[in-house]
Amino acid sequence: MARARYNIDTPERIIEAATELFARHGHRAVTLKDVAQAADVNGAAVNYHFGDKAKLYRAVIEHCLNHREAAAPIDEERWQALSPQRRLLKFIAALMEQLLHERSTTLMSRIMLWEAIDPTTEFDRLVAKLPGRQLKILDRIVCDWLGPDASERTIRAASISILGQCVYYRYGHNILEKVERRKRTSETEISSIVGEIFEFSAAALHGIAARCSAGQTTPARLPTSKMANLGRNREAP
């Protein structure tokens, strides 16, 4: 009976061990032998259940995506009846829960960072499932907030800015811990971050909406001469 239970649990143990290793070291640095040792199984078990490293990695990606979405779903369909303001707040809250809550769901963010540095064959799928989908959802929220006078470029720029605020707390967390000397992963901290990102983004969107409704279709730009001066000032000792 114990042996049967061990066999039933083996794939899950392999996935969990592989997820930790891929998140910590990246796809290329991890071997099937490493995974077998971490999962406390023999190499034949890994081969039997997953075949090769590429298939195991694909299974890890699917596992992480499913668990992350289940833990804090970004449920655009259920939010459709809400105002753009409420939808944006819910989006930020769900994403920050996915990114910062200290559990297995945050491992997906670490794997995504490795993919950005050293892409594998899974990169395109991950981009479509994560930032690609997130930006499309944000585009629809921002479009409804800004109204019909906003250009596609303006909408996408705002979406990228909002998403950038969110993901920096994950990808820059080591830097932020050194600079601020505090962890940003407690429920209280996550809630505060959500409010801060929303407040900053809402103020920006209100300003952009006013500019668009006034017929100002492009943001103010510094004259080329001033941009050149800024560049020279940066280079000065």
CATH number at residue 58: 1.10.357.10
The residue among 31, 28, 60, 54 whose CA lies nearest residue 43 is 31
How far apart are alpha carbons 67 and 213 in whole angstroms?
A: 42
40 and 98 inside one domain: no
For residue 8, give the amino acid letter: I
Domain count, the chain: 2
With a cut of 70, list the residues of the chain below it in pLDDT. Answer: 1-8, 102-105, 217-237
Question: Of 11, 45, 71, which closes a domain?
Answer: 71
Residue 70, SS3 per DSSP: helix
pTM above 0.85, yes or no: no
116 and 27 inside one domain: no
pLDDT of residue 221: 64
How far apart are alpha carbons 152 and 158 in whole angstroms?
A: 10
156 and 57 inside one domain: no
Q: Is residue 232 part of a domain?
A: no
Question: Of 71, 102, 123, which closes a domain?
Answer: 71
Average of per-residue pLDDT values in the chain? 87
pLDDT 10s digits, 112-160: 989 999 999 999 999 999 999 999 999 999 999 999 999 999 999 999 9
Q: Is residue 203 part of a domain?
A: yes
| DSSP 8-state assignment for residue 72 | S
67 and 87 inside one domain: no
213 and 100 inside one domain: yes
pLDDT of residue 147: 94
Q: Is residue 224 part of a domain?
A: no
pLDDT of residue 73: 85
How far apart are alpha carbons 150 and 88 in whole angstroms?
A: 17
Question: Of 71, 92, 120, which closes a domain?
Answer: 71
Helix axes 43-50, 53-71, angle to 10 degrees: 70
87 and 56 inside one domain: no
> Which residues form the domain of 53?
1-71
pLDDT of residue 123: 95
pLDDT of residue 4: 38
With tokens 């490293």, the residue in question is: 53
